[in-house]
Amino acid sequence: MNNILKIAKIDAYSITPKYLQLINSILQGIQSGQIKKMIYFPPSMSLVMHWKLPEVR
């Protein structure tokens, strides 16, 4: 099973905000066929902690 944490790439030193890098990675994964139906998307807090993203409420 594919996992978004393995597919998405975040560069901590990029000038592009992390949330946009995540969105772009997901879109590229869909376009390339890496992300298919039934892929596991972890809860948002797992993404926040994994990539040290700002928490959105």
CA-closest candidate to residue 10, choices 42, 50, 41? 50
**Quick one: pLDDT at residue 1?**
39
45: tokens are 């807090």
**Quick one: pLDDT at residue 38?**
64
For residue 57, is it within any domain? no
Q: For residue 8, with 0-12 CB atoms within 10 Å meaning exposed, 13-18 middle and 19 or more buried, which class applies? A: buried
How many structural domains comprise the chain?
1
**Quick one: pLDDT at residue 30?**
84
The whole domain housing 39 covers: 4-51
For residue 18, is it within any domain? yes
**Quick one: pLDDT at residue 13?**
92
CB 1 within 8 A of CB 39: yes
Q: What is the chain's pLDDT, residue by residue, as a tens digit (57 residues)?
A: 356 777 778 888 999 988 888 889 888 988 988 877 666 666 666 666 666 666 655
For residue 20, is it within any domain? yes
